[in-house]
Amino acid sequence: MAKGRVSVVVERCKACGFCVEFCPTHVLALSSAFNSKGYHPPHVVHPEKCSGCDLCGMYCPDFAIYGTKVPSEKSPEKAGGEK
Amino acid sequence: MLNVLDETVNPVEPFLRSDRMPHIWCPGCGIGTTVNSFARALIESKIDLESLALVSGIGCTGRVAGYVKLDSFHTTHGRAIPFATGLKLANPKLNVVVYSGDGDLSAIGGNHLIHAARRNIDLKVICVNNLIYAMTGGQTAPTTPGHATTSTNPYGTFEPAFNLPHLVDAAGAVYVARWTTFHVRQLARSISEAFAKKGFSFIEVISPCPTLYQRRNKMGDGLDTMKYYKEKSKVKNGAPTGEVGLTLNGEIAVGKFVDRDRPDYQTMMRAQYVEALGDRYVDVPDPEESDMECVCG
Amino acid sequence: MKADPHGVLTGTHFMDGDHACCEGALAAGARFAAGYPITPSTEVVERFAARVPTVGGTFIQMEDELAASIALQGGVWGGAKAFTVTSGPGFSLMMEHIGYAAMTETPCVFVDVQRGGPSTGLPTLPAQADMMQARWGSHGDYEIIALCPNSPQECFDLTIRAFNLAEEFRVPVMFMMDEVVGHMTEKVVIPPADQIEVTPRKHTHKSIEDYLPYATNGDLVPEMAHAGEGYKFHVTGLTHDERGYPNMTPQTQDKLVRRLQNKIRVAADRICLFEEDRLEDADVVVVSYGITSRVAQRAIDAGRARGLRVGKLRLITAWPFPDKKIVELAARVKAFVVPELNLGQMVREVERAAAGKAKTLAVTHAGGGVHNPDEILNAIVEASRC
């Protein structure tokens, strides 16, 4: 069970590749899909390796991706960012 | 609103004017990355967002003001720092951040940079340094390393570049750090540390400009530049700022270079007035308590 | 509302125009000034530096006029009434930020104690050659208000008016003194605070959710908020929409820039102040302002003593220019005589408004002194013969 989950805001992505490169567990790769601007957004290729560290989110210059921690079975609150 | 299929929220989203996304920065530009670090620092430091004001100048980094959901002021080229000074002096309760680029802050704004540092005005200055004038098409900046190609030095620059940490250190800044956009966590930490300090803090962030600086100098794209930062950076906390100058292909010294304490401008001002005037000194009025509120129809 | 008594130096004083201007600013509620020394204006901020720590406010001497002219705007957005003070060369440096104040609708006052120019010119001697610059000095289309005091008493009274107009119209107001008015010492009566009307900031009462920084409800002047109140608004010098967001289209430009112009023009009758004397039967009208109006008064009286039907129109508001008054007079007088300490600036406005219906005689002076009343009288005589 992955500790984290990645969310992608497809339409904001400009395929810079930062998230793919700097994910410490290599969860991501650029997909072959296109967004409406013609960019290939990332997709998750190894979801089980995601720790929810949100380094992808910190690197993304377009605010187009972020990682969140998946709540453990004991605490059913939703995972989410601050505020 | 966004095509996120779950109910999670990007931690940076509450700090953004989502109605203005997507932003204008190029693919691989690092400015957005610095905003992530800034947002994390705000969260970490538990800064009251209602008493935070962000002031920027003109240029690509200057556009940050328009994208953050804060009281934000997009001022004139080079003059973010004096505007910010006025804000802070009129309302000392504000936390005032200046977020601008290397050309804006050190060329046209250079005079204001050094005087604010000298005075130790309580400002947190984030200087995104992409070594170029990006918005206007890639002209030489005071920070462009020697022998780089720019649109106004088509045969290569030959001027010595500013070593910004050294400049602001010499002028009197109490906190001076440099990171690159690769160092997202360290940058967030530095910004938090600056928030905890009173006085003039200056954080330089080396950032890619893939469209102009990197492209003209055949240095690849944004990702190539981030890998380059990773490879060439060397953390040198406490290094003498005179030794952290940048070159075209050399080492990038990063770290916290200066962290000292000296009274900030308002503390010194108050002390002087109290000494000279005693009871006759009247403190700067609290704008919230003034009767500026009008009874407009 | 009434002036804050802490800033009002009630009493009868013997002071010069520069000092009176400072007292006017304090009486108007100014609690922030950013300045840079330049003759003959420096005394205004020197006095403010001495006074404001005992009234409650800030003075900061900035490193140059570029800094001063925008630091004061930061002070405004931080919640204060603010101003700066300068003369020709500094005024030139401040032009970009006057435009910024006009574009962002930042209420503030710029005092220009005019001296001989161009360039360094005559630092200690008078001129009135910045009048067109006050109106047109910054780039782009915008409107400002300009006032011209002609005595230290007016330096007090009209500074208050300048601040009031700035707040009412959210516009930078140019306070066009000259070196003689600035440095002449006369009686200045400062009334009790409860006899001084000051216009408060047009602060919004809307909720944070509903507030739009640049929306107007028909009166052309948006409501303002200050940093630190939770409104999280954006201010930019870029062409912007009602949300304050950059919106760089011709349509937004048209809407914004025309409103900035109209908010002044539509209210011109209310804004324009002038002093009239013996215009009812006049053949010749002397149009003057500032120190020149004091000299002109002598010439007008001398002309009347000779039986000439000469009247006075003194511009207290130079901008917006009182077109209507000139149009009205041009229909029935022979000529306007316009003495100025310049080679012909406001005279062009008189000519334009008169549209050929009456003649216009300029009585120019390159600056450095004041006219001899006879120069003006001779022009009145010549005008009477038209």
CATH code of the domain in which B207 resides: 3.40.50.970
Q: What is the pLDDT of residue A71?
A: 83
Cβ neighbours of B36 in A, within 8 Å: 57-60, 63
Is the pLDDT at B2 greater than 50? The verdict is no
pLDDT digits over B144-159, tens only?
999 999 999 999 999 9
The residue-averaged pLDDT of B49-55 equals 97
Question: Measured between CA atoms, how close is B222 to chain A, in angstroms?
Answer: 7
Q: What is the mean pLDDT of chain C?
A: 97
- Count of domains in chain B? 1
Q: Which residue in A1, A44, A9 sits closest to A23, CA to CA?
A: A44
Cβ neighbours of A80 in B, within 8 Å: 7-9
Asked whether the beta carbons of B82 and C70 are under 8 A apart, the reply is yes
Q: Which residue in B97, B101, B100, B113 sits closest to B54, CA to CA?
A: B97
**Contact (CB<8Å) B10/A5:** no
**For residue C79, is it within any domain?**
yes
Is the pLDDT at C3 greater than 80? The verdict is yes
Is the pLDDT at C356 greater than 80? The verdict is yes
**Contact (CB<8Å) B12/A16:** no
Domain containing C366 equals: 275-384
Q: What is the pLDDT of residue B283?
A: 94
Domain containing A28 equals: 4-69
Where does the pLDDT of residue A78 fall: very low under 50, low under 70, confident under 90, or very high at 90 and above?
very low
Give me the residue from C31, C53, C205 closest to B273, CB to CB.
Answer: C53
Read off the pTM.
Answer: 0.96
**Contact (CB<8Å) B7/A58:** no
**For residue B285, is it within any domain?**
no
**Contact (CB<8Å) B184/A9:** no
The residue-averaged pLDDT of B263-287 equals 96
Report ipTM for this prediction. Answer: 0.96
Domain containing B248 equals: 21-280
Find the Cα–Cα–Cα–Cα dihedral A34, A40, A41, A47, rounded to 10°.
100
The residue-averaged pLDDT of C43-57 equals 97
Are C180 and C286 within one domain?
no
Question: What chain A residue is nearest to B220 in terms of C-alpha separation?
Answer: A16
**For residue A32, is it within any domain?**
yes
Where does the pLDDT of residue B4 fall: very low under 50, low under 70, confident under 90, or very high at 90 and above?
low
The more confident residue out of A82 and B234 is: B234
Are C288 and C188 within one domain?
no
Is the pLDDT at B296 greater than 70? The verdict is no
Q: What is the pLDDT of residue C310?
A: 98
Question: How many other β-carbons are positioned within 10 Å of the β-carbon of residue C112?
Answer: 26
Are C41 and C150 within one domain?
yes
Are C280 and C181 within one domain?
no
Asked which of C165, C195, C225 is the last residue of a domain, the reply is C195
Question: Measured between CA atoms, how close is A23 to chain B, in angstroms?
Answer: 12
Q: What is the pLDDT of residue C99?
A: 98
Is the pLDDT at A35 greater than 90? The verdict is yes
Instruction: Return d(Cα A36, Cα A63) in angstroms, integer.
Output: 17
**For residue A54, is it within any domain?**
yes
Q: Which residues contact B131 (CB under 8 A, 6 or more apart)?
A: B102, B141, B143, B144, B145, B148, B161, B206, B209, B213, B246
Where does the pLDDT of residue A10 fall: very low under 50, low under 70, confident under 90, or very high at 90 and above?
very high
- Per DSSP, the residues of A5-67 read EEEE-GGG-----HHHHH-TT--EEE-S---TTS---EEES-GGG-----HHHHH-TTS-EEE
Give me the residue from A5, A57, A59 closest to B10, CB to CB.
Answer: A57
Q: Which residues contact C151 (CB under 8 A, 6 or more apart)?
A: C17, C181, C184, C186, C294
Looking up residue C315, the CATH number of its domain turns out to be 3.40.50.920
Asked whether the beta carbons of C113 and C16 are under 8 A apart, the reply is no
Is the pLDDT at A75 greater than 80? The verdict is no
- Per DSSP, the residues of C103-131 read HHT--EEEEEEEEE-STT-EEEEE--TTH
Asked which of C195, C210, C242 is the last residue of a domain, the reply is C195
Q: Pairing state of beta strands C11-16 and C185-190?
A: antiparallel
Where does the pLDDT of residue A2 fall: very low under 50, low under 70, confident under 90, or very high at 90 and above?
confident
Q: CB-based contact (8 Å) between C6 and chain B? A: yes
**For residue A38, is it within any domain?**
yes
Q: Pairing state of beta strands C335-339 and C284-288?
A: parallel
- Count of domains in chain C? 2
Cβ neighbours of C60 in B, within 8 Å: 85-86, 89
Looking up residue C169, the CATH number of its domain turns out to be 3.40.50.970
Question: What chain B residue is nearest to C62 in terms of C-alpha separation?
Answer: B82
Cβ neighbours of B40 in A, within 8 Å: 58
Looking up residue A38, the CATH number of its domain turns out to be 3.30.70.20
Question: What chain C residue is nearest to B286 in terms of C-alpha separation?
Answer: C79
The residue-averaged pLDDT of B117-138 equals 98
**Contact (CB<8Å) B226/A18:** yes
Q: Pairing state of beta strands C335-339 and C172-178?
A: unpaired
Q: What is the pLDDT of residue B295?
A: 38
Is the pLDDT at B80 greater than 60? The verdict is yes
Token code pair at residue A21: 């490169």
The residue-averaged pLDDT of A50-65 equals 97
pLDDT digits over C190-207, tens only?
999 999 999 999 999 999
The answer to whether chain A touches chain C by having 3 or more C-beta pairs less than 8 angstroms apart is no
Asked which of C152, C176, C195 is the last residue of a domain, the reply is C195
**For residue C299, is it within any domain?**
yes
**For residue A20, is it within any domain?**
yes
Are C306 and C171 within one domain?
no
Token code pair at residue B256: 């916290």
Q: Which residues contact B260 (CB under 8 A, 6 or more apart)?
A: B174, B175
**Contact (CB<8Å) B74/C201:** no
Where does the pLDDT of residue B7 fall: very low under 50, low under 70, confident under 90, or very high at 90 and above?
confident
The residue-averaged pLDDT of C105-131 equals 98
Instruction: Return d(Cα B254, Cα B236) in angstroms, integer.
Output: 6
pLDDT digits over B130-142, tens only?
999 999 999 999 9
Is the pLDDT at C132 greater than 60? The verdict is yes
**Contact (CB<8Å) A18/B223:** yes
> pLDDT above 70 covers what percent of chain C?
100
**For residue C261, is it within any domain?**
no
Of the given ranges (B1-5, B247-251, C138-142), which has the lowest mean pLDDT? B1-5
**For residue A81, is it within any domain?**
no
Q: CB-based contact (8 Å) between A27 and chain B? A: no
Other chains touching C, judged by 3 or more CB pairs under 8 Å: B
The residue-averaged pLDDT of C29-34 equals 98
pLDDT digits over C269-321, tens only?
999 999 999 999 999 999 999 999 999 999 999 999 999 999 999 999 999 99
**For residue B128, is it within any domain?**
yes
**For residue B9, is it within any domain?**
no
Q: What is the pLDDT of residue C386?
A: 84
Is the pLDDT at B5 greater than 60? The verdict is no
Instruction: Return d(Cα C129, Cα C366) in angstroms, integer.
Output: 8
- Count of domains in chain A? 1
Give me the residue from C53, C70, C237 closest to B82, CB to CB.
Answer: C70
The residue-averaged pLDDT of C91-113 equals 98
Q: CB-based contact (8 Å) between B248 and chain A? A: no
Other chains touching A, judged by 3 or more CB pairs under 8 Å: B
pLDDT digits over B188-199, tens only?
999 999 999 999
